[in-house]
Structure 1
Amino acid sequence: MGDGARWSLEDDWEWQVQCARANDAWVRSTAASWVPPVEEELVLAARATALSQWYPSTSHNYFRFSDGPPPWAPSGRDDVRYLPGCISFAKEGVDGSAVFLVWSGHLLLSPDPVLVLATPDAVVAAEALVEVLTTDS
């Protein structure tokens, strides 16, 4: 981006896809990781839904959204509002496979978030989060 260029929502999504791909590659190289290499799958599934209207970000093993670029992004803001829902992912399947957990509320904050859905399908998780965010907001 040149001087004066603004960081767009599309730029943020492209960056998120690249980061997810790189993170999945790193996780694949670390046999002991409790995080499955499904971040890119989740980002692409979310991008194909109404979630694409918000700024995406991941933190460790959860995927959340805000109403503007987060502080660490180019043109980021300190006053972004994180939406009250997210998707976490871990190796929680009976066979150690990936499970996506859809939450209403904010993880790691009070009041405690509510688990809405657990699914092995990233598309189903993304669609469920759309429902959470459009119902709760």
Structure 2
Amino acid sequence: MTRGGARSLDEAWDSAREDARGLDSGVRHTRSWLPPASEELLPAARASALSRWYPSFSHHCLRFTEGPPLWTPGGREDVREVAGFLCCASEAGRKSGTVFLAFDGLAFREPDPVLVLTTAVAADAVDALVALLVDGSGQQRG
């Protein structure tokens, strides 16, 4: 932990990796609408411009904040959530059965977020979210 007990950005990504393992192991050998794909999604996000934000899994969606969120060690109440997120789901008819979804907007809030891409490739969903959130110079949009 960094000074003041807050998680560093690297610690937050490492914690999210553990969360992804737990989510996937919980559904790996069950009949679930959730595929064990969080471990595939997280490294794609970490290798992208999304790595500038603090990740967390919530309701099986990968969401991002601009600092340590309130529910983490040293987190703050005033931390802003990034207006875009990623999810994975099972979809009949796909060879792998897994789809990755990129959304514009805040999860579980009004107005409802807008689905911008559904794809079988985690990195493509990440790229779609990056294109929404980061401009060509690497700066955050909006």
Judge same fold: TM > 0.5, yes or no. Answer: yes
Secondary structure of 2:82's counterpart equals strand
Contact persistence 1:64–1:87 (CA under 8 A): yes
In structure 2, relative to structure 1, the CA distance for the partners of 1:2 and 1:11 (3 Å cut) is closer
Query: Which whole-Å CA distance do the structure 1 matches of 2:134 and 2:100 have between them?
Result: 19
The residue that corresponds to 1:85 in the other structure is 84
**Cα displacement string for residues 85-137 of structure 1 (whole angstroms, at most 9, x for unaligned residues):** 11121112424711111111112211121111110101111111111112542
Written as runs of structure 1 = structure 2, the 5 A alignment for 1:69-80 is 69-80=68-79
Shift of 1:73: 0.9
Shift of 1:6: 3.8
Runs of 4+ in 1 over 6 A off after TM superposition: none
Contact persistence 1:93–1:99 (CA under 8 A): no
Unaligned runs of 5+ in 1: none
Unaligned runs of 5+ in 2: 136-140
The residue that corresponds to 1:15 in the other structure is 15
Query: Which whole-Å CA distance do the structure 1 matches of 2:58 and 2:42 have between them?
Result: 13
- When the two chains are superposed, the root-mean-square deviation of aligned CA atoms in Å is 1.9
| TM-score, normalisation: structure 2 | 0.87
The share of aligned pairs that are identical, in percent, is 46
